[in-house]
Structure 1
Amino acid sequence: MPPNRVEHVMGLPVSLRIDDPGVPAALTDAVFASLREADERFSPFKPGSEVSRYGRGELARAGVSGDLAEVLDLCAEYRAATGGAFDAWPPGRGFDPCAVVKGWAAQRAARLLTDAGVARFCLNAGGDVVVGGGPWRVGVRHPEHADRLCAVLELTDGAVATSARYERGDHIVDARTGRPATGLLSVTVLAPTLTEADTTATAAYALGAAGVAWAAARPGCEVYAVDTERRVLRTPRFPVPV
């Protein structure tokens, strides 16, 4: 039997399927250990985490770990790219890099598999997925009906992530206004890595209707979105099977 596992990590269900034969259970253990470590170090909801300490000003920028420095650089990159719509320092709230950390942590965990030579796997972090050795068929949930899919895409190697309000309500804020983002019901991004897919999807949602074209212009990204007029907006190369 291939090593398959589901655990609750980072506040969400994470499942791993490996189809390669002979993969040791220790490698699966290492993947979930990496995710748990990321949760301990980068959760803004844990007072002793490195992220919380940085947010309270107890750590200077020069004194953070290399991993947190990478996350901070990503936060700054996407803030600049969106003109401030995406911001890990949203108005009236403390430092919260979760929109970057989830995809970054899952991609880092997936790298343990590829570095070990695993060819065919699927790591699903709360609906955001990174795969290797496909084809894999990945469903995109309908933004208004939990029991329906609005698209199914075919993915060989890469990642896909969706940002929407259906799980957590109006949790994505346009930091330029401090109010919940408007204009889109959902936006799904396909990218080479889950770091890019997840962060780009959240940033696009924060930008609202303008976010679809913005995400489509990002290198290596393909987009499937539903706006508040219930129109489907899709880049031509988004891999929906016929």
Structure 2
Amino acid sequence: MRFLLTAMALPFSVDVPDAGTAAAAPGGEQVREAVARAFAVIRVAERRFSRHLPDSELSRLDRAELRLHDASPELLEVLTVAETFAQASGGAFGVERPDGHLDLDGVVKGWAAQRAADALAAAGVERFCLNAGGDVVVQGGRAPGVPWQVGVRSPWSTAETLVVLPVHDGAVATSGSYERGAHVRDARTGAPATALVSATVVADDLVTADVAVTTVVALGEDGVAWAQDELGCGVLALRADGTVVRSGLGLAHPA
């Protein structure tokens, strides 16, 4: 059973393999209710953290209408994640745009999707794949003893798969310049990060995977070893010349 949502200008989906194909299937209604609660988590995060909504908590903080010590625990948690990665990366990861305004997009998607996944698990959904605009968090395998197969597309062709990663419980996030241009910046210099065409990170949770993959792109090739050594992540990256850098990944279909 698949469920769809558009939020944060991105497609979100949840696949639950053992819920049947209709609402009347055994457990189908319970799964629908669990997914509805999970999607509500994402919608609330969008309203709270959107830099495009003038009344969002982030926008109010950015305009100094909200003091930091009056911020919600959720906003403080996201800011803490950002600060942790900024320090761990030597400043390569950051949440301030060139114009000086706060931009938490590099944290919020993974944070919200992981919280939604946690809501699914708490509701008793044992096996699922939550896809957040191409980044995924999975639990329980597609079937007992069978991992989810997470495909990573080629940067040069939407019709080609670069690798397939078998993941039973965990998260996979990909970032690169092939769709949105060099949108990731090295916060130390403010310059676009161009050494890597793309990077994929496998981690235990999507907060780590999503923020880490942005940091890997910002750091360039040095980020591959950084993500493995400092965070324990698996990484696959492509240099600008198309050659592969990988560390700590078991690949089903290697490039």
TM-score range, shorter chain: over 0.9
Q: Is the 8 A contact 1:91 1:175 kept in 2?
A: no
Structure-2 residue corresponding to 1:239: 250
Q: Note the 1:133-152 alignment, pairs <5 A.
A: 133-134=140-141, 135-152=147-164
**Is residue 2:212 matched to residue 1:205?**
no
Structure-2 residue corresponding to 1:173: 185
Q: Is the 8 A contact 2:182 2:194 kept in 1?
A: no
Unaligned 5+ runs, structure 2? 20-26, 142-146
C-alpha distance in 2, partners of 1:167/1:34? 27
Q: What's the RMSD between the two structures over aligned residues? A: 1.3
Q: Is the 8 A contact 1:184 1:208 kept in 2?
A: yes
Equivalent AA in structure 2 for residue 224 of structure 1: L
Equivalent AA in structure 1 for residue 201 of structure 2: V
Sequence identity, in percent?
48
Structure-2 residue corresponding to 1:37: 44
Q: Is the 8 A contact 2:163 2:252 kept in 1?
A: no
Equivalent AA in structure 2 for residue 199 of structure 1: V
- Equivalent of 2:65 in 58, 66, 71: 58
Q: CA deviation at 1:219?
A: 2.9
Q: CA deviation at 1:91?
A: 2.9
Equivalent AA in structure 2 for residue 112 of structure 1: A
Unaligned 5+ runs, structure 1? none
Equivalent AA in structure 2 for residue 233 of structure 1: V
Q: CA deviation at 1:209?
A: 2.0
**Is residue 2:173 matched to residue 1:161?**
yes
- Equivalent of 1:125 in 132, 140, 152: 132
Structure-1 residue corresponding to 2:3: 5
Q: Is the 8 A contact 2:34 2:125 kept in 1?
A: no
Q: Is the 8 A contact 2:202 2:233 kept in 1?
A: yes
**Is residue 2:107 matched to residue 1:109?**
no
> Which sits farther off after the overlay, 184-193 or 56-65?
56-65
Q: CA deviation at 1:218?
A: 2.8
Equivalent AA in structure 1 for residue 189 of structure 2: T
**Is residue 2:231 matched to residue 1:219?**
yes
Aligned residues: 239
Q: CA deviation at 1:92?
A: 2.3
**What is the DSSP-based 3-state SS (H/G/I as helix, E as strand, rest coil) of the residue aligned with 1:171?**
coil
Equivalent AA in structure 1 for residue 16 of structure 2: I
**Is residue 2:87 matched to residue 1:76?**
no
Cα deviation per residue 1:59-96 (whole Å; 9 max; x = unaligned)? 11111000000001011111111111111013324100
Segments ≥4 residues shifted beyond 4 Å: none
**What is the DSSP-based 3-state SS (H/G/I as helix, E as strand, rest coil) of the residue aligned with 2:138?**
strand
Equivalent AA in structure 2 for residue 239 of structure 1: G
C-alpha distance in 2, partners of 1:113/1:80? 32
Q: CA deviation at 1:106?
A: 0.1
Equivalent AA in structure 1 for residue 252 of structure 2: P
C-alpha distance in 2, partners of 1:208/1:92? 23
Cα deviation per residue 1:147-194 (whole Å; 9 max; x = unaligned)? 211111100000000010122212111111111112101110000000
C-alpha distance in 2, partners of 1:209/1:191? 18
Equivalent AA in structure 2 for residue 108 of structure 1: R
Q: Is the 8 A contact 1:223 1:238 kept in 2?
A: yes
Q: CA deviation at 1:229?
A: 2.2
